[in-house]
């Protein structure tokens, strides 16, 4: 347990406690493009020794030599059982880890939690200030490649800054951070506990950050769907060329000079999280693919440039 270390001072956003012990985990299969960046980012935030990569039979070599804990799974079932098994696995593991850790974070390999650098030094500093929150969801921005104005990505440099545009997608504001053994549900978009969306915690989702990467990754994921039926009801079922064509439409017709910077305080975050009839609390809104087509384009806050 962590105890308050000092009373609140003028100008502080919240009381700080000793920085918590944090573990971050993900489940991957063939994520060679993004996983090294995920390890570098979260390793710098919480320490490589506090990262867990659950490898679901990768064959691209992406989970070798990462410097963190890699657990190679014997295999997750295909078809409709895939997502049920994946969430059962991470929920059970998270509950056990809370015997040793103060906080468990579960994110995909293309998801980066960034506390607002105006207020926090990093993820552990942020979590120290949020010691009273059992479950936290971020404000999620789906970063995208504005093909008409942005070049191909330079993988040796930070992505944010090379990519300046995104869409705020309410349904993607997932309860990714928890201090209690409440079980995740519905592909970790829901949880069996109440939670709020914190406007001072960003999630930068990089699925659409580069046209050619989107084409390649989406094509690979479609092949996995064809192989064993996993994630058949999700965007994984959309092929590479179709996903790439959709990405180009997401920003078509937009005048970049007229696009405003995203301000999380301008959104009604309190209306997004709802309790379902099943008792699950989750972020609601139109599905991701439709949201990317219909919701307005925004500029990524410049203060986030260079962090990922």
Helix (H), strand (E) at residue 215 = helix 211-228
Lowest mean pLDDT among 180-189, 195-204, 219-228, 274-283: 219-228
The pLDDT value given to residue 6: 32
Percent of the chain whose pLDDT exceeds 70 = 93
Is the pTM of the predicted complex or chain greater than 0.85?
A: yes
Query: Among residues 10, 81, 21, 12, which one has the least CA distance to residue 50?
Result: 21
Helix (H, G, I), strand (E, B) or coil at 277: coil
Q: What is the DSSP letter of 244?
A: H
Record the tokens describing residue 172, joined without a space: 């993607």
Query: How high does pLDDT run on average in the chain?
Result: 90
| Best mean pLDDT range from 105-109, 229-233, 238-242 | 105-109
Residue 245's pLDDT band (cuts 50, 70, 90): confident
The pLDDT value given to residue 1: 30
Strand partners, 163: 160
Question: pLDDT digits over 156-165, tens only?
Answer: 999 999 999 9
Strand partners, 196: 136
pLDDT over 80 at 227, yes or no: no
Compare 75 and 274 and report the one with higher pLDDT.
274
The pLDDT value given to residue 239: 76
Record the tokens describing residue 271, joined without a space: 């209306």
The pLDDT value given to residue 17: 61
pLDDT over 70 at 111, yes or no: yes
Q: How many CB atoms lie within 10 A of CB 16?
A: 19
Question: pLDDT digits over 170-199, tens only?
Answer: 999 999 999 999 999 999 999 999 999 999
Residue 289's pLDDT band (cuts 50, 70, 90): confident
Query: Among residues 129, 135, 95, which one has the least CA distance to residue 20?
Result: 129
| Letter string b/e over residues 84-122, b meaning 16 or more CB atoms within 10 A of that residue's CB | ebbbebbbebbeebbeebbbbbbbbbbbbbbbbeeebee
Helix (H, G, I), strand (E, B) or coil at 181: coil
Compare 196 and 257 and report the one with higher pLDDT.
196
pLDDT over 70 at 133, yes or no: yes
Residue 14's pLDDT band (cuts 50, 70, 90): very low
The pLDDT value given to residue 257: 85
The pLDDT value given to residue 78: 77
Sign of the alpha-carbon dihedral angle for 63, 64, 66, 69? positive
Tell me the C-alpha to C-alpha distance, in Å, between residue 17 and each of 10, 133, 226.
16, 13, 48
Question: pLDDT digits over 29-59, tens only?
Answer: 999 999 999 999 999 999 999 999 999 989 9
Record the tokens describing residue 54, joined without a space: 């659950």
pLDDT over 50 at 216, yes or no: yes
Helix (H), strand (E) at residue 55 = strand 51-55
Residue 232's pLDDT band (cuts 50, 70, 90): low
Main-chain dihedrals φ then ψ at residue 128, nearest 5 degrees:
-65, -35
| Cβ(51)–Cβ(68) below 8 Å | yes
User: Between the CA atoms of 9, 198, 27 and 240, what dihedral angle is there, to the nearest 10 degrees?
Assistant: -140
**CA end-to-end distance (rounded Å), the chain:** 31
Lowest mean pLDDT among 5-9, 33-37, 104-108, 172-176: 5-9
Compare 242 and 89 and report the one with higher pLDDT.
89
Main-chain dihedrals φ then ψ at residue 261, nearest 5 degrees:
-70, 140
């Amino acid at each position: 347990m962590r105890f308050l270390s000092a009373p609140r001072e003028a100008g502080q956003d919240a009381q700080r406690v000793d920085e918590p012990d944090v573990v971050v985990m993900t489940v991957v299969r063939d994520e060679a493009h993004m996983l090294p960046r995920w390890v570098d980012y979260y390793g710098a935030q919480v320490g490589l020794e506090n990262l867990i990569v659950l490898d679901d039979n990768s064959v691209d070599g992406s989970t070798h030599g990462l410097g963190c804990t890699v657990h190679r799974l014997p295999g997750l079932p295909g078809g409709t059982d895939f997502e049920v098994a994946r969430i059962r696995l991470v929920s059970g593991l998270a509950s056990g880890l809370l015997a040793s850790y103060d906080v468990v974070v579960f994110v995909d390999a293309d998801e980066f939690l960034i506390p607002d650098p105006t207020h926090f030094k990093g993820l552990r500093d942020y979590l120290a200030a949020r010691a009273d929150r059992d479950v936290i969801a971020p404000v999620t921005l789906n970063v995208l490649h504005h093909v008409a104005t942005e070049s191909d990505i330079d993988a040796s440099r930070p992505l944010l800054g090379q990519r300046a545009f995104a869409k705020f997608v309410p349904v993607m504001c997932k309860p990714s951070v928890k201090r209690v053994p409440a079980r995740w549900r519905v592909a970790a978009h829901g949880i069996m506990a109440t939670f709020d969306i914190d406007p001072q915690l960003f999630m930068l989702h990089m699925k659409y950050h580069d046209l050619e990467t989107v084409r390649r990754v989406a094509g690979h994921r479609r092949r996995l769907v064809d192989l064993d039926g996993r994630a058949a009801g999700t965007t994984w079922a959309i092929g590479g060329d179709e996903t790439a064509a959709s990405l180009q439409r997401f920003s078509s017709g937009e005048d970049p000079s007229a696009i405003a910077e995203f301000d999380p305080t301008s959104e009604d975050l309190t209306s997004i999280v709802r309790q379902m009839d099943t008792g699950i609390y989750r972020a609601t809104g139109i599905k991701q693919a439709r949201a990317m087509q219909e919701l307005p384009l925004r500029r990524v806050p410049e203060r986030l440039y260079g962090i990922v």
